[in-house]
Amino acid sequence: MLTYALVAGVLFGLYFSLVGIGLNLVFGVMRIVNLAHGDTLMLGAFIALGVVALFGIDPLFAVPLAFVIFVLAGLLLYWVLVPRLQGSANPEMLSIILFFGLSQVVEAITTIFAGTSERSIQSRLLGTVFTTIKVRWFGGKPGAAGPIHIMGQGFPAPWVIAAATSLIAIALVYLYLYRTRLGTLTRAVMSRRDEALATGIDVDRVSAAAFGIGLGLAAVAGVFAPFMFGSVTPAFGADATVTSFAIVVLGSLGNPLGTALGGIVYGVCYMLVQTYLSSWADLLPYVLLILILLLRPSGLLGRRVRVA
């Protein structure tokens, strides 16, 4: 049982890394606390539900669709809201108020149109991909759609595919930050925004790109939420926001790649609690937030940032 919890924790941890990395990217570049981050995940999940309901196609096709939609929405939202926030005397506090209000509006509108009932989806394509992986890489029998076995333990296909997708997304974020010119400019803004302005960097353009990418990554994570958690409701966003902050603070505020470490630690803790103390699982993000803030406020990677 311990082996199952640890391996499942790593799979969930990679997924949780994707859940939090967009939030940390936005905070690292702009020092904006996006309390509507979880609602982006929720909307990503509902895009997957809508793709199935309206077009009858597999929900996995919602992954690129959700990413593109929310990158564009993020660019628009940035130019409408963020420059005004950055020009205020206390952008961090104002962003908390503004995005909390935005979160409430998004949840209310989604509830009006989608209701409050839990919704879940199935993916035939996911089963096909999984079966192919199982046959080619793990020696399974053709047509066998059972769980994949890792270290003698069986795990559902969605967990494995979501973990693999998250790993690819994290790798792409790394390439973006460290192998592209825009990424170099992004890291310069993350390090010293005022100095980046003084050297002639178009901080608004860099920040808008980071904001759009952050929302796009959150929406992709949202597409997999019904598979990872069984179902979603419009209220899912609030819990997802708390979880995201726990992951980000655990890794290190302002360090997007530190979120990968925070996500894996959170995932292992999550599965251990689910396995041995399932009634306490809902308290985990709050307990981890309190512990990390008391014992190591700068996060596991130790990077200190200005948060007020």
5: phi > 0 → left, psi -120 to 50 → alpha, else beta; which? alpha
CA distance 308 to 233: 33
Determine the residue type at 68: V
Per-residue CA distances from 205 to 3, 71, 134, 208, 229 (Å): 46, 13, 43, 5, 36
Please tell me the predicted confidence (pLDDT) of residue 123.
73
| Tens-binned pLDDT, residue by residue, of the chain (308 aa) | 888 999 999 999 999 999 999 999 999 998 888 999 999 999 999 999 999 888 888 888 999 999 999 999 999 999 998 888 877 778 788 889 999 999 999 999 999 999 999 998 877 666 566 566 555 555 555 554 557 777 877 788 888 889 999 999 999 999 999 999 999 999 999 988 889 989 999 999 999 999 999 999 999 999 999 999 989 999 999 999 999 999 998 988 878 888 999 999 999 999 999 989 888 888 888 888 888 888 887 777 765 444 43
Q: Which two tokens stand for residue 304?
A: 């200190």
Please tell me the predicted confidence (pLDDT) of residue 306.
44
Please tell me the predicted confidence (pLDDT) of residue 137.
56
Please tell me the predicted confidence (pLDDT) of residue 210.
96
Could you give the dihedral angle defined by the CA atoms of residues 7, 242, 74 and 70, in that order, rounded to the nearest 10 degrees? Answer: 50
Q: Phi/psi at 307 (nearest 5 deg)?
A: -120, 5
Residue 221 burial (CB count, 10 A): 31
Please tell me the predicted confidence (pLDDT) of residue 45.
96
Please tell me the predicted confidence (pLDDT) of residue 156.
82
Please tell me the predicted confidence (pLDDT) of residue 142.
52
Please tell me the predicted confidence (pLDDT) of residue 154.
79
Please tell me the predicted confidence (pLDDT) of residue 263.
94
Please tell me the predicted confidence (pLDDT) of residue 151.
80
